[in-house]
Every structure is written in C-alpha cells, then in structure tokens.
Amino acid sequence: MNSTIQVTVWNEFRHEKKNEKVKALYPDGMHKVIADFLGKNADLQVRTATLDEPEHGLSQEVVDNTDVLIWWGHMAHGEVSDEIVARVQKRVLEGMGLIVLHSGHFSKIFKKMLGTNCSLKWREFAEKERLWNIEPGHPITEGIGEYIELPNTEMYGERFDIPTPDKLIFISWFEGGEVFRSGCVWERGHGRIFYFRPGHETYPIFYNEQIQKVITNAVRWAKPRIIMPDKCPMSQPLEPLENKSNTFGAAGILQNG
Ligand code: ZN
C-alpha cells in the first residue's frame, strides 16, 4: 500500500454561506481550513468534497481513492443521498477510515455505521470545555497533554446514544456541569472510525493547534491496513472429506441396518 495517505475532507458547506458569523470565521468553508492544516504534512495528500457538488463530491472514483474520509455536516443531513451513504459505508467496511466531527453525530453515514440513534443533549452558551485525555498512550493522543481546554464551545451532554466505543479516548467536562464521550473509536468491518466532538461552526475550533493535532493523528491511525471487498463464498474443504448422507434430517443420526 502507498505510504502517502489519501484524505478527503467532506463538508456540508451551508452555514458558511448563510451565516455571517460563520462566514467570517471560515470564508472558504471549514473543509478548506481542515484541508490546509492536514496538507502541511508530507505524508498526507488532501482533497475536499462538499454537499452541493455532483454526487456530493464523492464519486466512486473519489471514494475508491480515499484512505481516510473526514465528515462534517449539520443542517442538511437529510439532503445526503442514500446511494452515496451506501457507497461510503461499503468502503468503510472494506477498510477505509472514517472520522466524524461534531454535529456529524447525526449524519446518515455515522448512524448507518453505528446502528443507533446517536442523539445527545446540547446547549449553545459559549461554555468552557475541558477534554480529558484518558488514553495518553493511544496514537490519536500523541503529543496531547493531560487535557485540551476550549474557552467557548457548544455543550454536548450525555447520554450520547452510541454503541459502547471499542475505546474511549476523550471525556469532556462543560462549565454547565455535563460530561460527554468526546473521542470514541470503533471498528466496523475492516474500517476504523473515530468520532471527535469539537467543531461547532460559530467558534474557531478548527484553528486550535491541539484540535488540529488530534485530527492529524486520527488520520494516520484510521488509514487502511487492508482493503478487502466483501464476499460470502461456498468453501471447498482443505482436507478430503468422506461422503456423508445428504438426506434431509439424516446427517448425524445412526441408521438401522
Ligand atoms: Zn454545533
């Protein structure tokens, strides 16, 4: 497998066009800011894709040539076509990495991969958030200290309706009292999935160097170790087998005479 990791940053790219505050923070879209910091790494080759492009920018060719897909969506989850979601899901099961950011918790692809409602509590009150790094030995937290502090964030609180993560990487505390599982990993098929909570569109979260570091680490962690298309074949025995009775219901039952 090529040592360069092919990354596709997918963004809904609607808030940045409609909301002046978001436009001021991310004039070319959040995907551009994410692609720019990832692109500074020699081992990452980064492209972007957005909802309003043909096939949401996720043609079969793009998906086939993506090692890790990053997903940010919020106000238009319902506009993502089921056909594209099925295409992405198939590729994750084959081995592509998937990183879902913030409000992507309600995206079709995240819910499809996890099979639960993915609902949570929320509140927009510019609260302080402290993300505790509870897996300091994990590749995703390399170079991250004991915690990350964000001065102003939207609150996400438990219960987060997800399957129990294979590993919980970050737990958030919020000024208003809630806690949240902010960094979670799962495997589905051959694919690795990372959910990372920060990223509300009205705060400059994706300019934060520690947040950038976590996402960069996560890309390297989520890259495919294998790409294996699904199959379900009839299998020939490796050792010779003696003929057994094929009569329905007779197998394994002692016959008289
Ligand atoms: Zn938000």
Domain ranges in the chain are 5-115+183-222
Chain segment 15-71, per-residue pLDDT in tens: 999 999 999 999 999 999 999 999 999 999 999 999 999 999 999 999 999 999 999
Q: What is the pLDDT of residue 256?
A: 55
Q: Is 1 a residue whose pLDDT tops 70?
A: no
Largest CA distance in the chain: 88
Distance 101 CA to ligand 1 centre (A): 10
Q: Is 246 a residue whose pLDDT tops 90?
A: no
Task: Measure CA of the first residue to CA of the last residue in the chain; give whole Å.
Answer: 60
Q: Is 257 a residue whose pLDDT tops 60?
A: no
Distance 63 CA to ligand 1 centre (A): 26
Higher pLDDT among residues 243 and 41, named by residue = 41
pLDDT band at 183 (very low <50, low <70, confident <90, very high): very high
In sequence order, the 6+-apart residues with CB closer than 8 A to the CB of 40 are none
Q: What is the pLDDT of residue 12?
A: 98
Q: What is the pLDDT of residue 243?
A: 78
Report the CATH number of the 5-115+183-222 domain.
3.40.50.880
Per-chain mean pLDDT for the chain: 95
Tokens 């505390």 — which residue?
Answer: 173
**103 with 155: CB under 8 angstroms?**
no
Q: What number is the average pLDDT over the span 241-255? A: 68
Dihedral over alpha carbons 146, 149, 155, 157 (to 10 degrees): 10
DSSP E strand boundaries for the chain: 5-11, 44-50, 68-72, 97-101, 121-133, 147-157, 167-174, 179-188, 191-196
Distance 226 CA to ligand 1 centre (A): 34
Chain segment 112-164, per-residue pLDDT in tens: 999 999 999 999 999 999 999 999 999 999 999 999 999 999 999 999 999 99
Provide, rounded to the nearest whole percent, the portion of the chain with pLDDT above 70. Answer: 94
Distance 143 CA to ligand 1 centre (A): 26
Distance 119 CA to ligand 1 centre (A): 13
